[in-house]
Each structure stands twice: as structure tokens, then as C-alpha cells.
């Protein structure tokens, strides 16, 4: 499948949202609400604020379904970018006047990296995630992970290496503007 062609589900979902199908929003919510909430909570560290962000993200999607550009990536990525942009804007707003600008930006960078790491882990293929979870949470080495997963030691090493490579990108510097054109409001609470 060419890289610029989104999955069929994404295209159909966008069309249904554009037609104003409330059931489509419900389906989208069922599919991505836990992702949105966990990303927002990871950035903000506040359950109520994460709940608000979740409502606002789905409200934005409902009002702006044509803002999704399939050439920019999957709908899941789009929803995550909107969430991250909204949560970071809320964090900046909440922290304004508390400490120096450098402290605020460090907090934002840390929150962004944590949110990206969460997103990467939840988005990676299940075999990679399973190997990383065994290594990280259960403190298994590659031999033990191979035995637990009933795969070869070489395959366990490969999965761990690939999973760690994916996770290492979480600390990469994000683009200057996390709310890309068509990917959510530039400022918290505003719409285009």
C-alpha cells in the first residue's frame, strides 16, 4: 500500500463525520477516547483537565472533520496531534507566571516527550510492545522474553531492539509548531 494512501477506515470515518453522522463521532470516540485522555493526562497530570481536553478534542473533530488531511498520516495520528497541541497549550496557560520561561519550556518539552513515548508504545505492533513490556515491567532479559513469548532468542532481540529504536524517537525535538495547519487550533480554545 502506498504511504500516502490512508487506511480505508480513516477515509470512511472522515466522510461520515463530514456528513454529520453522530454515530461516526461515537465510533471515533470509542476508538480513540482512551488515547486522547491518556495523552492529555500524561502532559497535564490532572484527571479533570484531561477530561476537558478529551471533550474539546472530540468537539473540534466534530466541528472540523475536513481538517483531517489523509496525506499527513492516519486519523489516529491526527487525533493524537490535536490532543498534544491542546494539552501543551493548556499546560503553558496554566503555568504562565509560575517560574521562568526556561522552566516552563523544560516542563513542556518533558511533557511532550512523555506523551510521545506513550503514543509510540500504544501505536507499536503488539509483538514489539509485548517484548518491551516483558523487559521493562517484568525485568526479563531477551532469553527470558523469548521463552515467555515462545519465540527464538534472535527474534526476541530483534523485537526489543526495534521497540527501543521506536521509543528513542520520543525525545526527538518536535516540529516548532505542534498544531500544524489543519491539525487543531493554534491556541487553546480557539478554532479556525
pLDDT at 155: 93
Q: In this structure, what DSSP letter does residue 25 have? A: H
Distance CA 63, CA 19 (A): 11
pLDDT at 6: 56
Convert the pLDDT of each residue in 140-150 to its tens digit: 888 999 999 99
pLDDT at 192: 34
pLDDT at 181: 40
Going by C-alpha positions, the residue among 84, 2, 74 that lies closest to residue 35 is 84
Residue 172: other Cβ atoms inside 10 A = 8
pLDDT at 188: 37
pLDDT at 4: 45
Residue 45: other Cβ atoms inside 10 A = 12
pLDDT at 36: 93
Mean pLDDT by 10 residues, the chain (192 residues): 61 92 94 91 90 96 91 85 89 76 78 76 82 85 91 92 83 50 42 36
Distance CA 32, CA 47 (A): 17
pLDDT at 173: 54
Distance CA 41, CA 35 (A): 10
Report the sign of the C-alpha dihedral through residues 174, 176, 177, 182, in that order.
negative
Q: Phi then psi for 15, rounded to 5 degrees?
A: -65, -45
Buried b (16+ CB within 10 A) or exposed e, 128-154: bbbbbebbeeeebebeebbeebebeee
Going by C-alpha positions, the residue among 34, 57, 56, 49 that lies closest to residue 122 is 34
Distance CA 129, CA 117 (A): 12
Amino acid at each position: 500500500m502506498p504511504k500516502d494512501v490512508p487506511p480505508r477506515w480513516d477515509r470512511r470515518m472522515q466522510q461520515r463525520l463530514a456528513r454529520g453522522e453522530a454515530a461516526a463521532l461515537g465510533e471515533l470516540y470509542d476508538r480513540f477516547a482512551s488515547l486522547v485522555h491518556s495523552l492529555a493526562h500524561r502532559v497535564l497530570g490532572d484527571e479533570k483537565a484531561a477530561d476537558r481536553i478529551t471533550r474539546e478534542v472530540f468537539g473540534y473533530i466534530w466541528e472540523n472533520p475536513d481538517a483531517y488531511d489523509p496525506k499527513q498520516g492516519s486519523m489516529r495520528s491526527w487525533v493524537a496531534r490535536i490532543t498534544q497541541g491542546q494539552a501543551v497549550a493548556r499546560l503553558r496557560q496554566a503555568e504562565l507566571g509560575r517560574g521562568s520561561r526556561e522552566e516552563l519550556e523544560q516542563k513542556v518539552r518533558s511533557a511532550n516527550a512523555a506523551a510521545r513515548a506513550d503514543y509510540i508504545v500504544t501505536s507499536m505492533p503488539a509483538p514489539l510492545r509485548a517484548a518491551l513490556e516483558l523487559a521493562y515491567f517484568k525485568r526479563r532479559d531477551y532469553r527470558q522474553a523469548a521463552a515467555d513469548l515462545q519465540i527464538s532468542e534472535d527474534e526476541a532481540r530483534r523485537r526489543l531492539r526495534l521497540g527501543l529504536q521506536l521509543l528513542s524517537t520520543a525525545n526527538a525535538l518536535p516540529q516548532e509548531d505542534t498544531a500544524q495547519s489543519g491539525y487543531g487550533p493554534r491556541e487553546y480554545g480557539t478554532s479556525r
